[in-house]
């Protein structure tokens, strides 16, 4: 993680707007309002604030910003336009332009102020639309919450700008205190460690600058809490006896994470998530509507996502999950045909170790262990070739016509499917409650019967236990397949399934899945 450059994150404070001359507002069309003013040399020498649309937008052009006279056009736009998929627009979209571009020295930023209307407590920032990137980029912004307006620095003679609210960060709410390092520190669930914030007590307007060095409070338990302060910082703005106070939060520096600031990519955000994996799909399980797709019909290796179908075929034998069985080293040896035995995810067992069928089943799906997948095949009562034949027959019967399995673990790159096929298969396989439940457990513990060895299998899907209500999922990796991930989440009475094949990095698979799921949730909740 790194901190953004100073010019990107220093937020505007104490800006003085110069008096503006009254000008007539002239509607240019039913959809768009227009405003024009000509600034001569004498006017720009004194400095001038251009204000339009009942003061809804202002450009503060202090002396030295303009080097020559120019006309200034402003538009209040009402036309279809790309908007950030993960932000909420809370102002009109405005366009401004200096007709004489040469009059503006773009090494000197000027201030744009925009009024907004919002009912939420989230962080507000001014964004501009970058037509080259086809996305919106944030500007260094100060949010004047009580006045319903935001001010930002900008370096452009032409831009489309608007205020957006970021649901990833709470800017107004409650703060409590804790005793930890006895310094000017804070715990935040929104701003990453290393971020610097100005926290203001809304009751007395006292402020304290703090550095985020911990995570918290838990929003699931305290949805109204924006931040918690170390008691040393809390005492700067309130008495410890107050316990909980109402505060506003102004970012001073924000730590960058994975090329993003508060969930927004540094190079801008468009109207859909940026997915770079080889293939991706997001589907509404209730309506079967596809919300997002990328290369949905590309036939690719699916790695350990194979194990969902392996588990489904195994359940067809109606196994007794309480039955105690013996593990055999030959089960692991089956997997060595496809990968280096030292690099294969396996459950550490010795030949003859005894455990229940349930232990094997849950461990195979939760920890994606390959030797136990082969144990399930052996215990199914079917010859291995017949088991694999039934995997393929089941896939075809479900309608997954582009899917082929040559072995039951996913270690072979010849196990292939499409994200569209995989959505079909998981929908059918997850009708079995045991299978669905197994994939959503964060961990599974058991003790072997003979040696009384305690075993903990942890889920390889890091989204479980996070912000989503995950009801099912599976991870996978092969050199030839990249990182693969399927995650199923519940939103009220609705469910979404996201699938990614071929992410180049493990962390990227989770980041892109989070984006897909958040995008789908917004599509549902915002009725877009």
| C-alpha span between 74 and 33 (Å, rounded) | 8
Q: Is 22 helix (H, G, I), strand (E, B) or coil?
A: coil
Q: Which residues contact 239 (CB under 8 A, 6 or more apart)?
A: none
**Sign for the pseudo-dihedral over CA of 314, 315, 316, 317:** positive
Contact 455, 335 (CB under 8 A): no
- Among the options 277, 304, 417, 509, which is catalytic? 304
Give how far Cα 115 sits from Cα of 74, 93, 126, 146, Å: 15, 11, 10, 11
Question: What angle, 0 to 180 degrees and rounded to 10, lies between the N-to-C axes of helices 307-315 and 419-429?
Answer: 30
Contact 83, 136 (CB under 8 A): yes
Q: Where are the alpha helices (DSSP H) in 380-432?
A: 384-398, 419-429
Residue with tokens 């099912």: 472
Of the candidates 366, 381, 384, 392, the one whose C-alpha atom is nearest the C-alpha of residue 462 is 366
- Which amino acids are annotated as binding site, given as ranges? 474
CA 439 to chain centre: 22
Of the candidates 273, 296, 295, 275, the one whose C-alpha atom is nearest the C-alpha of residue 521 is 273
- β-strands 122-130, 135-138: how paired? antiparallel
- Which amino acids are annotated as binding site for substrate, given as ranges? 474
In three-state form (DSSP H/G/I as H, E/B as E, the rest C), the secondary structure along 259-308 is: CEECCEECCCECCCCCCCCCEEEEEECCCCCEEEEECCCCCEECHHHHHH
Q: Which residues contact 230 (CB under 8 A, 6 or more apart)?
A: 177, 178, 179, 180, 181, 182, 183, 184, 185, 186, 210
**20 in active site:** no
| C-alpha span between 528 and 520 (Å, rounded) | 10
**304 in active site:** yes
Contact 401, 419 (CB under 8 A): no
**Sign for the pseudo-dihedral over CA of 226, 253, 157, 14:** positive
- β-strands 33-39, 26-27: how paired? antiparallel
- Among the options 307, 394, 488, 518, which is catalytic? 307
- Among the options 188, 346, 368, 509, which is catalytic? 368
Q: Is 518 helix (H, G, I), strand (E, B) or coil?
A: helix
Q: Which residues of 242-252 are buried (b: 16+ CB within 10 A; e: fewer)?
A: eeebebbbbbe
**181 in active site:** no
CA 436 to chain centre: 24
Q: Is 358 helix (H, G, I), strand (E, B) or coil?
A: helix
Question: What angle, 0 to 180 degrees and rounded to 10, lies between the N-to-C axes of helices 357-366 and 370-379?
Answer: 140
Q: Which residues are catalytic?
A: 304, 307, 368
């Amino acid at each position: 993680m790194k901190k953004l450059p100073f010019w990107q994150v220093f937020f505007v404070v104490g800006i003085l707007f110069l008096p503006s001359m009254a000008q007539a507002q002239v509607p240019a069309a039913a959809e768009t309002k227009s405003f024009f003013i000509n600034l001569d040399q004498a006017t720009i020498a004194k400095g001038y604030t251009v204000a339009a649309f009942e003061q809804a937008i202002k450009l503060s052009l202090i002396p030295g910003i303009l080097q020559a006279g120019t006309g200034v056009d402003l538009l209040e736009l009402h036309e279809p336009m790309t908007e950030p998929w993960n932000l909420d627009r809370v102002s009109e979209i405005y366009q401004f332009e200096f007709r004489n571009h040469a009059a503006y020295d773009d090494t000197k930023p000027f201030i744009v102020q925009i009024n907004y209307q919002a009912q939420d407590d989230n962080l507000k920032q001014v964004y501009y639309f970058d037509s080259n990137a086809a996305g919106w980029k944030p500007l260094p912004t100060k949010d004047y919450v009580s006045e319903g307006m935001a001010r930002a620095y900008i370096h452009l003679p032409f831009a489309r700008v608007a205020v957006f609210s970021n649901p990833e960060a709470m800017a107004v709410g409650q703060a409590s205190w804790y005793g930890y390092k006895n310094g000017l520190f804070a715990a935040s669930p929104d701003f990453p460690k290393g971020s610097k914030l100005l926290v203001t007590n809304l009751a007395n307007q006292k402020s304290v600058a703090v550095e985020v060095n911990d995570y918290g409070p838990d929003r699931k338990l305290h949805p109204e809490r924006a931040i918690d302060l170390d008691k040393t910082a809390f005492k700067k703005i309130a008495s410890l006896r107050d316990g909980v106070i109402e505060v506003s939060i102004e970012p001073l520096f924000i730590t960058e994470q994975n090329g993003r600031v508060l969930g927004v990519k540094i190079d801008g955000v468009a109207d859909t998530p940026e997915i770079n994996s080889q293939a991706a799909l997001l589907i509404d399980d209730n309506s079967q509507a596809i919300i997002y797709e990328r290369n949905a019909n590309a036939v690719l290796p699916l790695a350990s996502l194979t194990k969902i179908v392996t588990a489904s075929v195994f359940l067809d034998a109606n196994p007794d999950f309480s039955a105690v069985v013996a593990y055999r080293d030959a089960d692991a040896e089956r997997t060595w045909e496809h990968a280096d035995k030292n690099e294969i995810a396996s459950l550490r067992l010795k030949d003859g170790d005894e455990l229940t069928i349930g232990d094997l089943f849950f461990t195979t799906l939760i920890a994606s262990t390959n030797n136990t997948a082969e144990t399930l095949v052996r215990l199914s009562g079917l010859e291995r070739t017949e088991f694999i034949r039934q995997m393929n027959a089941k896939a075809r019967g479900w309608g997954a016509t582009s899917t082929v399995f040559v072995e039951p673990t996913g270690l072979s790159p010849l196990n292939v499917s499409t994200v569209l096929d995989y959505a079909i298969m998981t929908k059918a396989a997850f009708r079995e409650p045991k299978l669905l439940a197994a994939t959503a457990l964060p961990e599974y513990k058991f003790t072997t019967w003979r040696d009384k060895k305690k075993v903990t299998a942890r889920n390889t899907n890091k989204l479980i236990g996070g912000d989503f209500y995950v009801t099912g999922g599976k991870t996978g990796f092969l050199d030839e397949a990249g990182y693969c991930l399927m995650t199923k989440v519940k939103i009220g009475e609705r469910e979404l399934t996201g699938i990614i094949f071929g992410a180049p990095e493990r962390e990227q698979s989770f980041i892109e899945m989070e984006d897909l799921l958040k995008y789908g949730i917004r599509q549902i909740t915002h009725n877009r």
